[in-house]
Amino acid sequence: MEATALLDSVLAGDFMTRCWRRRFVYIPGGAAGLLPTLPTIAEVEARLAGAVVELGAEPAFLSFPRAGEVIARRWQHATPGAWPVDEAINVPHAERLFPRLAGLAEALTRRFAAPANLQLFLGRAGAGLRPHSDIHDSFIVQIAGRKRWVIEDPDPATPLAGNAGGRFGAGARELLLAPGDLLYKPSHGLHATVSEDLATLSLTASIVTVTAADALQRWLAGLAAVDPAWRVRLPLAPDDTAALVAALADLPALLPGLAELLGVVDDD
């Protein structure tokens, strides 16, 4: 199955209006046709083989300890040491390591008009991630082994906190993903994972979308760059106070319309 055909089947009907950024969607066997094109556990382990050290601004991979807060440890290949086999391993930029994934990243970028971030997650039995939420919408393909998920749909009334930990509430539920299963994870949806089998591998394809708030902040930044009234220092001097009061009075008439706000996103 090609990535474009998979997206067509998943996004058909009212997915974007009922589910996008609203609720998790579990599709048993929904990505089975992609499995022949995806990396195997052996291929990923080969990439991790050799000595590593913890550090690096551009890590070769990340790992997540089983206990404590959801904090990523950053690793790069060097000497001496070995990769932490008892932790969940996150291999970022998977399309760079495995060029055959580039087609999937390109299909996602075309469909959502936004960058796609592909990551591979490798884990031994018992490894996983504690409850947390992410800012991106993601599609997860279980490649090998079984992984247990605890999920809870995002609550629109809850203030957003970026990538953060959390606690499950009454709406939490469990899923067991097997090879070929597909899971859509909405942005800010709370989730936790644990590998059930001796070794598991999954692919997370995240969509780096822009919110209306992001676009408005960019528009304001552009306004501040050309209008000196918005560049006054705080606390205000008497003359600055008058200038800022005048700028605030003019702001409602300056606020962008929808077309102009979307243009801020298109310029990226």
Nearest-5° Cα angle at 133, 130 to 137? 130
pLDDT greater at residue 219 or residue 165: 219
Q: State the Cα–Cα distance between residues 118 and 100, nearest whole angstrom.
A: 12
- What are the tens digits of pLDDT across the range 190-243? 999 999 999 999 999 999 877 777 778 888 888 778 877 677 777 677 777 777
Q: State the Cα–Cα distance between residues 26 and 181, nearest whole angstrom.
A: 8
Q: What is the chain's length?
A: 268
pLDDT of residue 13 exceeding 50, the answer is yes
pLDDT of the residue at 79:
42
pTM: 0.78
CB 154 within 8 A of CB 22: yes
> Per-residue pLDDT averaged across 118-129, rounded?
90
Pick from 92, 85, 45, 91: which is nearest to 65 by CA?
Answer: 85
Q: Which of 2-16, 78-92, 169-183 has the highest mean pLDDT?
A: 169-183
Q: Is 202 helix (H, G, I), strand (E, B) or coil?
A: strand
pLDDT of residue 32 exceeding 90, the answer is yes
**Alpha carbon 92 to its chain's center:** 11
Q: How confident is the model at residue 72 (pLDDT cuts 50, 70, 90)?
A: low
CB 189 within 8 A of CB 173: no
DSSP letters along 96-136, please? HH-GGGHHHHHHHHHHHTS-EEEEEEEEETT-EEEEEE-SS
pLDDT of residue 21 exceeding 70, the answer is yes
pLDDT of the residue at 64:
67
Rg over alpha carbons for the chain, rounded to the nearest Å, is 22
